[in-house]
Amino acid sequence: MSEMQSTRRGRPGYDQQGILAVAVAAFNEHGYDATSIGMLAERLGLSKSAIYHHFGSKDQILDLALDAALSGLEAVVDDPLPASAVEASAVARLEHVLRGAVHVLIAQLPAVTLLLRVRGNTEVERRALTRRRAFDRRITALVSEAQAEGALRADMDASVVARLTFGMINSIVEWYRPGGREGADRLADDVVAIALDGLRRR
Amino acid sequence: MSEMQSTRRGRPGYDQQGILAVAVAAFNEHGYDATSIGMLAERLGLSKSAIYHHFGSKDQILDLALDAALSGLEAVVDDPLPASAVEASAVARLEHVLRGAVHVLIAQLPAVTLLLRVRGNTEVERRALTRRRAFDRRITALVSEAQAEGALRADMDASVVARLTFGMINSIVEWYRPGGREGADRLADDVVAIALDGLRRR
């Protein structure tokens, strides 16, 4: 049985997740506004009503895709370190979050790409931006905490540090291709090495 | 005489640079495809033929805007360090390039924003992408050289280092607003500090 085949409803072809994946790829390729349900139907080889069977509207498809990316990133910040490190330092938790964010980005590359292009043109986009800002504030708070505990240099604004560090992570969507030379673990190592210890040899 | 007033042709209103600035803002706001010459004419309070007096086509406006951003970045890599440092180490030249790129990005924020969104849909866009890739290769070569001279850690792929470092720099277009808390010099210091020495306090 192919991956594409619905296990949820028995309808041959696409289940909700399959349609979502094709829709996200189309939004990334053509832009959300320029992608119609008719275009998605054609790409999927389905009728428009078959799509509406799974989703109330194009907006709802976007909402679900952005929620998947945001939930993944939020889970990384919520996720405690292994039990042995429950009382881990802020810098250890920051490293854990940077690594986790690289993994989410690579595991959900199309949905995160879509999220990073959201400009707030619709209610769904504005809600996603609000969640992104809340995420950014949590990263900034973690950087502040790591500065206060003396682990990170304190001569930089914590929100600028959070933005530049996540700017580096987010830029991975611009060039990363699955199956490329570096996997997620290696890339997470590189990001942590640059952000925390820098490129200079000591 | 206002800045907007043409010094080139005596026509009141906008000269070529003024029209270009308004066009780039519109491209960034609505997307290049969705922005027509008619929309630009309305925004500028000019006739379409007044715009065509300065530019052969919408494509030519894009071409000039992308060239401005690319020429600025290329000049940073071409630009030698001060005479006293003509034989500067690769790592000193890399630091010089990182700083210079932050300055170009902030000085030409709208044009660089436009450049970073180019996806290669037209001949003009493909030419711009070719120049961006040539720029990236020069940065990668500089990182390799700094690794070879022993100044930078050599356990990371030079092209990944170049991409992550410029990913951090390019992300500045997402949030930087002129007149914000940090100016270009401060932000260039922050980028160099993170990239070369890392956030960890020693």
Tell me the pLDDT of chain A (202 aa) as tens digits.
444 444 444 445 789 999 999 999 999 998 898 899 999 999 999 999 999 999 999 999 999 999 999 999 999 999 877 655 556 899 999 999 999 999 999 999 999 999 999 988 899 999 999 999 999 999 999 999 999 999 999 999 999 999 999 999 999 999 999 888 889 999 999 999 999 999 999 8
- Please check whether residue B170 touches A, CB under 8 A: yes
Is A58-197 the same fold as A1-56? no
**Which residues have a Cβ under 8 Å from the Cβ of B68 and sit 6 or more positions away?**
B20, B108, B111
Look up residue A32 and give its DSSP letter. Answer: T
B71-98 per-residue burial string, b: 16 or more CB within 10 A, e: under 16: ebbbebbeeeeeeeeeeeebbebbbbbb
Q: Which of B160, B167, B193 sits opposite A167 (nearest CB)?
A: B167
Look up residue A152 and give its DSSP letter. Answer: B
Q: Which of B31, B153, B167 sits opposite A199 (nearest CB)?
A: B153
First to last CA, chain B: 54
- Please check whether residue A192 touches B, CB under 8 A: no
How far is Cα A105 from Cα A114, in angstroms, rounded to an integer? Answer: 11
In this structure, which amino acid lies at residue A103? H
Q: How many helices (H) and strands (E) does chain B have?
A: 9, 0
ipTM above 0.85, yes or no: yes
Interface contact flag, A200 B152, Cβ < 8 Å: yes
Interface contact flag, B165 A170, Cβ < 8 Å: no
Nearest to B51 by CA among B66, B36, B65: B36
In this structure, which amino acid lies at residue A124? V
Chain A residues in contact with B143 (beta carbon < 8 A): 199
Q: Which of B172, B182, B197 sits opposite A157 (nearest CB)?
A: B182
How far is Cα B130 from Cα B172, in angstroms, rounded to an integer? Answer: 22
Class of domain A1-56: mainly alpha
| Residue owning tokens 């780039």 | B24
CA distance to partner chain A, nearest, from residue B2 (Å): 33
A-interface mutation test, from B30, B106, B161, B199, most A Cβ less than 10 A away: B199
Interface contact flag, B174 A164, Cβ < 8 Å: no
Which of 64-103 (B) contact A at CB < 8 A? Answer: 91
Topology of domain A58-197, CATH: Tetracycline Repressor; domain 2 (1.10.357)
Interface contact flag, B190 A165, Cβ < 8 Å: no
How far is Cα B88 from Cα B109, in angstroms, rounded to an integer? Answer: 29
**Torsion angles phi and psi, residue A200, rounded to 5:** -70, 135
Burial of residue A87 (CB within 10 Å: 0-12, 13-18, 19+) is exposed
pLDDT at B5: 43
pLDDT at B180: 80
Nearest to A127 by CA among A66, A187, A184: A66
Query: pLDDT (tens digit, 0 to 9) for every residue of chain B, 202 residues total?
Result: 444 444 444 445 789 999 999 999 999 998 898 899 999 999 999 999 999 999 999 999 999 999 999 999 999 999 877 655 556 899 999 999 999 999 999 999 999 999 999 988 899 999 999 999 999 999 999 999 999 999 999 999 999 999 999 999 999 999 999 888 889 999 999 999 999 999 999 8
Interface contact flag, B171 A172, Cβ < 8 Å: no
Q: Which of B143, B167, B191 sits opposite A172 (nearest CB)?
A: B167
The angle that helices B16-30 and B58-78 make with each other, rounded to 10 degrees, is: 100
Nearest to A169 by CA among A144, A145, A195, A146: A195
- Please check whether residue B153 touches A, CB under 8 A: yes
Report yes or no: A167 and B174 within 8 Å, Cβ to Cβ.
yes
Interface contact flag, A171 B170, Cβ < 8 Å: yes
Report yes or no: A103 and A112 within 8 Å, Cβ to Cβ.
no
In this structure, which amino acid lies at residue B111? A
Report yes or no: B72 and B104 within 8 Å, Cβ to Cβ.
yes
pLDDT at A86: 56
- Parse chain A into domains and list their residue ranges: 1-56, 58-197
Q: How far is CA A180 from CA A168, A187, B91, in A?
A: 18, 11, 28
Sign of CA dihedral A11, A12, A15, A19: negative
For A170, nearest residue in chain B (alpha carbons): B167
Q: Which of B33, B34, B171 sits opposite A164 (nearest CB)?
A: B171
Provide the token pair at B48: 């379409």
Interface contact flag, B157 A31, Cβ < 8 Å: no
If you count them, how many residues does chain B have?
202
